Amino acid sequence: MRVVVAGGTGMVGRYVVEELAAAGQEPVVLARSRGVDLLSGGAGLDEAMEGAEAVVDVSNVETMSAKKAVPFFDTVGRNLLDAGARAGVRHHVVLSIVGIERVGHGYYQGKMRQEDVVKEGPTPWTVLRATQFHEFVEQILDRMPRPLAVVPRMRTQPVAAREVAQHLVKLTLAPAQGMAPELAGPRVEQLVDMVRRLLRARQQRRLVLPVRLPGPAGAAMAGDGQLPLGPGPRGSQTFDEWLAEHVGRTTTP
């Protein structure tokens, strides 16, 4: 099966491409670095879609602003659906995030728009909501200037990005099912604790300052707003196991 992967050079996208190839499928990467601008929907998009039976959308934009996130996910979603309809795509799969309607900050508003666009589109669809990735902790830490690490108070049930990709591929190769059961990791964690364990694993010293974000979004993040609401698939790799594999040295909390 020829499967188009939008955002196939990103964190999850690379794993999706690898897992599709390992399953004997034919992945096609859509990314600006591969000559396809998903925002313009122009040159290269229809050519890449030719002969595709499924699309996996793991495209992303780095912003916390609703003014940037909403138009990005709206435009990319519509461009992919339109091109997919022209090519005869039979299954459109989207990766989303657990708790977006409960937390509702700017980026999550963009993901909600993405889900709405897919639901209203002409192609049978599947949306997988997953919790934050183990890799999210590195992203948070590395974007902060030293020597401080200001970390929001957040409860999460993190899952490895590779396991998310594996589940996406299983869903892609199955019939469309609408909203799939939410995917989460094996255990609930506090983001602040995860940052501290990552620093120990790296043998780095930084002052970690936990901060509760203001308003309803901050309250939801500090509570259960980003945890799965019901039963569903669970990843097997814990954060400490992920640290041992990717960082090389870790300690238990």
DSSP code per residue over 146-204: TTEEEEE--EE--B-HHHHHHHHHHHHTSPP-EEPPPBB-SS-EEHHHHHHHHHHHHT-
- Pick the closest to residue 128 from 18, 221, 232, 35 (CA basis): 232
Q: Given the structure tokens 């992945």, which residue do they identify? A: 27
pLDDT score of 86: 95
The amino acid occupying position 179 is: M
Average pLDDT value for the chain? 93
Question: pLDDT tens across 56-70, in order?
Answer: 999 999 888 999 999
Please tell me which residue, 183 or 205, carries the higher pLDDT value: 183
pLDDT score of 146: 84
Query: Residue 247 in 3-state DSSP?
Result: coil
pLDDT surpassing 50 at residue 251: no
* Structure tokens given for 225: 């707003």
Under the banding of pLDDT at 50, 70 and 90, the label for residue 252 is very low
Under the banding of pLDDT at 50, 70 and 90, the label for residue 233 is very high
pTM: 0.93
* Structure tokens given for 233: 């698939």
pLDDT score of 145: 82
State whether the Cα torsion 70-9-54-44 is positive or negative: positive
The amino acid occupying position 219 is: A
* Structure tokens given for 220: 């939801």
- Under 8 Å between Cβ of 128 and 57: no
Instruction: Please state the separation of Cα 154 from the chain's center in Å.
Output: 17
* Structure tokens given for 68: 């940037």
Under the banding of pLDDT at 50, 70 and 90, the label for residue 41 is confident
Q: Name every residue whose Cβ is closer than 8 Å to that of residue 144 and which is 6 or more positions away in sequence.
A: 150
Q: Name every residue whose Cβ is closer than 8 Å to that of residue 57 and which is 6 or more positions away in sequence.
A: 6, 7, 76, 77, 80, 92, 93, 94, 95, 114, 118
* Structure tokens given for 140: 């948070």
Please tell me which residue, 252 or 89, carries the higher pLDDT value: 89
State percent of the chain over pLDDT 90. Answer: 79
pLDDT score of 248: 58
